[in-house]
Amino acid sequence: MKNMQSLRRTLMVVAGVALVGAVTLAVARAQPPAPQGERGPAALPGINWSEQQLKQAVAPLRAGRKLTPKSWPNGAKVAVCVTFDIDNESPALARGNVNPDLSAMSDTEFGATEGLPRILRILDQRSIPASFYIPAVSNILAPEMVTSIMKSGRHEIALHGWIHEPVVTLNNAAEEERLLKQAIDYFTKVAGKKPVGSRTGGWAISPYTIGIEQKLGLLYDSSMMAMDQPYELVANGKPTGLVELPVTWVQDDAPYFGRQGALPSPELIFNVYRDEFDMAYQEGTMVMLTFHPHVSGRRSRAVHLAKLLDYMKGKPGVWFATAEQIANYVKQQAAKTH
């Protein structure tokens, strides 16, 4: 848990640093040499960027057109996408498993042993479909996971890297592509179907990620945060054709329940998700929830996950769907109106 959270934090920092480096280089080339006075290396490079440079800095990946359809299937008012990132041991292994404490890994092993089975029971009892984002390595270590997920025929198997690799730190287009392709091949074999969606490890995106997802023929990405409804990703002003099903830290269990997370009460946190749902319902858009089996699979949290699902199921016109189903639907609908 803590590992995963701190990994994400580290990734954010590393991502920041790597991109700062890249952008600083790019900008250094683009602009006349900055006056080297008392400042030394620019602490705040952005204060000297021109309007054009500022716009370029944000341009690589932006929110394009909103893709919420006029109506969801069967006139439903809202789409609910319940998703699970089965990180388990992968983030620690990606870093070389440097923690000599053998107990640390058991906290994430829990995701496979208890967390996932409990979650599948909760979903099956309610016939709710879900999307599972799995680093290939997590499944190699516990291959019964994909088998059990596929049993109901309702769920989606999707990508979460080869080993939850931090693509921004990797900063290597060929390596990033090789790893993602390796993951696609692995799941195509064990699940019998090529995955169509990707969620990057740690929700970080390198300058190459979107190009690779396009090249490998993916339908959608689910790592960005610019809206709380489906939208089209725009890269440097060009629509990519990739559907973004956006996530947010607000609806991720990890920041709340990490060992350093502040709130001890799962009840209050699931109230947050309920409020998110209520307004999504009112606005007619979608809810994208992200859970981790090793986090929300714990009993005191699973209880509230079940309550939340019951609450949403209790409303008329709620379409529970996998991310794949939603992406396909919004793409078809958007194609109709254009």
Partner 1 sequence: MLRTPLALGAALSLVAGAAALLAQQPAQPGARSPQPGLHWTEQQLKDAVAPVRVGRRLTPKSWPNGAKVAVCLTFDVDYEASDLANGNTAPVALSQREYGAKAGLPRILRLLDEHKIPASFYFAAVNVMLHPEEFQEILKRGRHEVGVHGWIHENITALQSEEEERQLLNKAIDYLTKAYGKRPVGYRSPAWAFSPWTMKLIREAGFLYDSSMMGLDEPYELVANGQPTGIVELPVEWILDDAPYLQRTGSLPSPELIFKTYRDEFDIAYREGTMLMLTNHPYITGHRSRISEYEKLVVYMKSKPGVWFATAEQVVNYVKQQPARSH
Structure tokens at 197: 């969606």
Q: Are 80 and 326 in contact (CB under 8 A)?
A: no
CB of 158 to partner 1, least distance (A): 17
By CB under 8 A, which span of 35-43, 115-123, 135-143, 189-197 interacts with partner 1? Answer: 35-43
28 binds partner 1 (CB under 8 A): no
Q: Which of 6, 10, 31, 49 binds partner 1 (CB under 8 A)?
A: 49
Q: Which is nearer to partner 1, 76 or 227 (CB)?
A: 227
Alpha carbons 291 and 299: distance in angstroms, whole number: 14
Among the listed residues 304, 313, 248, 317, the one whose alpha carbon sits nearest the alpha carbon of residue 276: 248
- Residues 270-329 interacting with partner 1 (rule: CB under 8 A): 271-273, 275-276, 278-280, 283
**Residue 282: both structure tokens together:** 């009112």
Single-letter amino acid, residue 162 = W
- CA 200 to CA 165: how far, in whole Å? 8
The nearer residue to partner 1, 139 or 285, going by C-beta atoms, is: 285
Residues 6+ apart with CB under 8 A from 200: 160, 161, 167, 209, 221, 223
Q: Report the DSSP pairing between strands 318-320 and 231-235.
A: unpaired
Q: Which of residues 216-235 bind partner 1 (CB under 8 A)?
A: 223-229
* Number of residues counted as binding partner 1 (CB under 8 A): 61
Residue 262 in contact with partner 1, rule: CB under 8 A = yes
Among 1, 4, 61, 305, binds partner 1 (CB under 8 A): 61
Residue 213 Rama label (left phi>0; alpha psi -120 to 50; beta): alpha
Strands (E), the chain: 62-66, 78-85, 131-134, 156-159, 197-198, 220-221, 231-235, 238-244, 286-291, 318-320
Q: Which of the stretches 124-132, 179-187, 189-197, 265-273 binds partner 1 when contact is defined by CB under 8 A? A: 265-273
Q: Give the contacts of 81 (CB within 8 A, at least 6 positions apart).
A: 131, 245, 286, 287, 288, 289, 321, 322, 323, 326
The piece of 57-65, 88-96, 156-164, 309-317 that touches partner 1 (CB under 8 A) is: 57-65
**By the rule CB under 8 A, 41 interacts with partner 1:** no
Start-to-end Cα distance in the chain: 45
C-beta of 4 vs 61, nearer to partner 1: 61
Please tell me whether residue 211 binds partner 1 under the rule CB under 8 A: no
The answer to the question of residue 32 lying near partner 1 (CB under 8 A) is: no
Closest approach, Cβ 170 to partner 1, in A, equals 14
| Amino acid type, 109 | E
* 238 contacts: CB under 8 Å, gap ≥ 6: none
Query: Based on CB atoms, which residue is closest to partner 1, 5 or 88?
Result: 5
Nearer to partner 1, 34 or 313 (CB): 34
Residue 203 as a binder of partner 1 (CB under 8 A): the answer is yes
**Residue 168 near partner 1 by CB under 8 A:** yes
CA distance 120 to 189: 22
Among the residue ranges 156-164, 176-184, 247-255, 321-329, the one whose residues contact partner 1 (CB under 8 A): 247-255
68-81 burial, b at 16+ Cβ within 10 Å, e below that, comes to bbeebeeebbbbbb
Q: Is 80 in the site for partner 1 (CB under 8 A)?
A: no
Among 29, 32, 33, 38, binds partner 1 (CB under 8 A): 38
Binding residues for partner 1, rule: CB under 8 A, are 12, 15-16, 19-20, 22-24, 27, 37-39, 42-47, 49, 51, 54-55, 57-58, 60-63, 168, 203-205, 223-229, 246, 248-250, 255-256, 260-263, 265, 268-269, 271-273, 275-276, 278-280, 283
